Every structure is written in structure tokens, then in C-alpha cells.
Amino acid sequence: MQKITEDLARRRAAELMRAGEISCLLGWKKGEFDYDVEPTVFYTPEEVERELVCNVFSAANLSKYLISLTRKAEGRVGILLKPCDSFSFNQLLTEHRFDRERVYALGLPCEGTVDTFLLKERVGEGIYSIKIKDGALEVETLSGEVKEIPLSEVYAERCLVCKSRRPVAYDEMLGEVTPDADEDRFAQVEKLESMTAEERYAFWQGELSRCIRCNACRNVCPACSCERCVFDNPTSGVETKAPSEDSFEEKMFHIIRAFHVAGRCTDCGECSRVCPERIPLHLLNRKFIKDINSFYGDYTAGAEVGSRAPLVSYTKDDPEPGQGGQK
Amino acid sequence: MQMTDYKPKIVAFCCNWCSYAGADLAGNNRLSYPAEVKIIRVPCSCRVNPTFILRAFQRGADGVIICGCHPGDCHYTSGNYFARRRMALLFSMLDYLGIERERTRVEWVSAAEGAKFAATMNDFVSTVAALGENRRLEDLRCKK
């Protein structure tokens, strides 16, 4: 399945490039190891045919790169969009961040991506190479041992509770749409909500105090696409380096970061994927999504182009603050 | 810590058109409310950025209250409707992070409601005083 999609994507993208339909392609290629597949821009069809990777490790959401690439590149830009990325794509269009006419989107089917932290933990030692088989990964370790690991055990959490596998934006679809995941994506948020205030505080203190302020969560987020960020302002009062243990900085940073994308976050889960400290940052964003849904009616950012985000609109009978959605 | 000596620090963001005038009226009418309440005048309740609230807590406030015109009466037509949505989400988030919900409040006070302003402040200060000092949001570096 994966192999078929990859072959199809390589062939079709190279075809489009040769026909002059697209001048470059946003895709993924293998990094140093088989599991660190990284985003890249291809400029020649030969590169595409040789290096394009579309598999369970092609996790990065590429839509944000369109902002800079459509300004820089000539002609149309090709992009590969997983279903979850297509929501971010639409959200960026809603915010007029790039010109739809300049983009040719190839939709990809998706069955989930692998959490590489989880995979490394599961393997337990250095990974030399990985072969992707049907439903499993054949991992060769540095000591020469070969381990077979079922994909279902290493899928990223965000993929297990994925909001939708039906792409909402594409010019052409490569392959068949895969069935939706059936787990409740708010289960973890609800679990936290059911704890006492002390337990919640202890949980977040433990998680957020690990933050090293590398800004990866901000830089990767397709909703965080301001050219000048409040956190880059030296007089904003928010430290730019990792704070001391007893400080409030990291909480401040993460509350504001989540608040700035509230109502625009498509829950793609990139913030948690790139966090080197494995802080479940998406749980903050998902709390906002859950609250918005329960206070102001169901809303999915990026489901359609041009929808009005909940925080830039209002109704006269909104619930009062602090009453948990009661009017 | 002796509760008798403890006086909470309260920051009140009051909109220029309704609540600030309401506070003025409370003063004119000789209605007393605790001196621990420090009023910051803002053009509209909508001016209050969530960062202001977090910053106030970080710098040692024990409670933050936002006062604005009643919904429908905003001087700028719709500012308080936006503020209402923002604060509803922010307070819910603070609660999610384990920070007492009683430390934050939004109250609609018109220019004619001096008595309501005084009563609200008295009530809020006693609620926060009962909770004690804010330890979950403070930045210890600011206490030096």
C-alpha cells in the first residue's frame, strides 16, 4: 500500500514537472536515517524519482512552507498533502497566506505516521535500517539483530485519534481515501479535566518545566505563521532562553502560544511531534478546541476555506466566562 | 502565614466608559471597597490581552478581575462580546492547568452601578483572601 502510493507520487510529480505544470515540489526525503524523513523542495524530476519518500515516516506537515515558497518560486508549486495537512492548507488559505492559483496539491491517502520516539523506545537500541512491510516495520539494529515491530504499536497518538482522513483540499488525489480512525480525540483532555486541580497542576508543572524554549513548537506550527512573533520582541518580557526551575515563564509561553492559535489550530499535532522533550503540547490546543466546540458550537479549523474563526466572531448569548459553558 | 495580616493584591482592569465610571460613582457615594484593589483603566474590556492577566499574576497579583460594560452596551458596539469569548477560553485553560478559577473573574458593571462595583470588589477580595497567596502562577524572580 505504502509502496504503491510512493511510486505513484514519484511518477505523477515527475510527470507534472516535466510537463511544466509545476516548477518545484514540496515533499519529503530521507534524512540521515530511515526514520528521520525530512521536508524538502525538489526542483528536478530526476530528484523526485530518486529521492521522494512517502511512507509512515513522512510526518511533517508541509503546508506552512507554501508561504515562503510561493513567494520565491516561479510558476506553480507542487505539494503533497496528507489529509491532516489539507486542513492546515485550507486554514492558511482562509488567512490569505498564499495564492491558491500558485499551488498544485497532490492529495495522499494516510493510514497514520510513526512516532519515532516510541519506535526508538520499542527497539531499545540503535536503529541501522528500517524496511516497511504490510502492517509492520522490519528494523535492523546496530548489533545486527532484526526485529519486527507491528505498526499498530508505534503509530503516533495524533494518528490514532485523527480527526479525519478525508482530505479537504487537493487538485488530484493519489490513491483511495482511507477510513477514519474511530477513537475519541478528546479522551485525554477529559481524563485531565476529571483530575483535581492539584493533580492537574502537578501534571502540567512536570511537563512544562522540561521546556527548553527551543521554539520548535512555534516554528513548526502552520497556524503560528506571523512574520514578527510576540516572543521575538526583546521587550515583550518573555524570556527567550530556558527559564529557571521556579519560574512561570514556560507556562506563560505555552499558554500564550496555545491561545494565539486558538480557533485556528487544526489539531495536526506537529507541536508535540517536534518537541525534543516530548511535552504533550497538543493537549493544550485540544483543550481550546474542545471548549470552543462546547461553548460556541462545533467548529473545525480548515474544514472549509473562508469560515470565520470563533475568536473573531461572537453571538449575543455566548456563555459567561468562568461558568464552564453555562449561559 | 497569619491570615489577619494577609492582604491580597488585586488587579482590576476597568473599561473607561462603564466600569471606571462605576468605580468613580462608588467613590462619590462614599461606598467603601478594599484598598487592595488596584484599578487599571483600559479603553475597553476588549483591550485586555490575555498576556496582561498572566503578567499580573507573574508579578505577584493574587487575583485579577476584568470589568466592562454590560453585553450590548459596549461603547465600541461589540468589544465586550469579543472579550467575553477570550476570557471564557482563557479561564477555562487556567483551570485546566490547575490554577484556581476563583482568582479570575469577569463582571459587567455599568456607569450607574457604583453599588454593584463596591459589592463586587468586596466579594472578590474576600474570595481571593480565602484562597491565600497565589503560588501557582507567580514568578519567584519577581519577589526578590
Percent of chain A residues topping a pLDDT of 90: 67
Domain assignment present for residue B142? The answer is: no
Domain assignment present for residue B109? The answer is: yes
In tens, the pLDDT along B11-36 reads 999 999 999 999 999 999 999 999 99
Domain assignment present for residue B23? The answer is: yes
What is the mean predicted confidence (pLDDT) over A123-127? 89
Contact at CB, B72 and A314, closer than 8 angstroms: no
Mean pLDDT of chain A: 89
In tens, the pLDDT along B109-136 reads 999 999 999 999 999 999 999 988 887 7
Q: In whole angstroms, what is the distance from residue B55 CA to residue B61 CA?
A: 9
Query: In the numeric block, which cell numbers belong to residue A128?
Result: 541501522
Burial of B65 (0-12, 13-18, 19+ CB in 10 A): buried
Query: In the numeric block, which cell numbers belong to residue A292?
Result: 470552543
* CA distances to A57, A65, A97, B122 from A106, in Å: 18, 15, 19, 61
Contact at CB, B89 and A259, closer than 8 angstroms: yes
Q: Which domain holds residue B69?
A: 10-136
DSSP string, A250-304: HHHHHHHHHHHTTTT-----HHHHH-TT---THHHHHHHHHHHHHHH----TTSS
Q: What is the pLDDT of residue A97?
A: 93
Contact at CB, B90 and A201, closer than 8 angstroms: no
Tell me, rounded to whole angstroms, the distance of Cα A55 from its chain centroid: 15
Query: Which residue in A has a C-alpha nearest to residue B104's C-alpha?
Result: A322
pLDDT value at B55 more than 90 = no
Contact at CB, A201 and B99, closer than 8 angstroms: yes
Return the number of CB contacts < 8 Å for A and B: 114
Confidence of residue A245 (pLDDT cuts 50, 70, 90): low
Long-range contacts of A314-317 (CB under 8 A, 24+ apart): A314/B78, A314/B81, A314/B82, A314/B84, A314/B85, A315/B81, A316/B71, A316/B72, A316/B81
What is the mean predicted confidence (pLDDT) over A303-309? 90
Which residue, among A50, A47, A51, A17, has the nearest Cα to A37 in the 3D structure? A51
Q: What is the pLDDT of residue A83?
A: 92
Stretch (H or E) spanning A138: strand A136-141
Domain assignment present for residue B99? The answer is: yes
What is the mean predicted confidence (pLDDT) over B4-16? 89
Q: Of all residues in chain A, what percent are helix, strand and coil, respectively (each to 5)?
A: 40, 15, 50
Residue B139: which of A249, A292, A312 has the nearest Cβ? A249
Name chain A contacts of B82, Cβ cutoff 8 Å. Answer: 311-312, 314
ipTM: 0.90
What is the mean predicted confidence (pLDDT) over B92-102? 89
Domain assignment present for residue B30? The answer is: yes
In DSSP terms, A324 is beta-bridged to none
3-state secondary structure B47-99: HCCHHHHHHHHHCCCCEEEEEECCCCCCCCCCHHHHHHHHHHHHHHHHHHCCC
Name chain B contacts of A200, Cβ cutoff 8 Å. Answer: 96-98
Total-model pTM = 0.91
User: Domain tally for chain B?
Assistant: 1
In tens, the pLDDT along A69-123 reads 999 988 999 999 999 999 999 999 999 999 999 999 999 998 899 999 999 999 9
Amino acid at A223: A
CATH number reported for the structural domain that contains residue B19 in this entry: 3.40.50
| Residue located via cell numbers 466566562 | A321
Query: In the numeric block, which cell numbers belong to residue A166?
Result: 478525508
Domain assignment present for residue B121? The answer is: yes
pLDDT value at A246 more than 70 = no
CB A163 within 8 A of CB A84: yes
Strands in A146-150's sheet, in edge-to-edge order, are A127-133, A136-141, A146-150
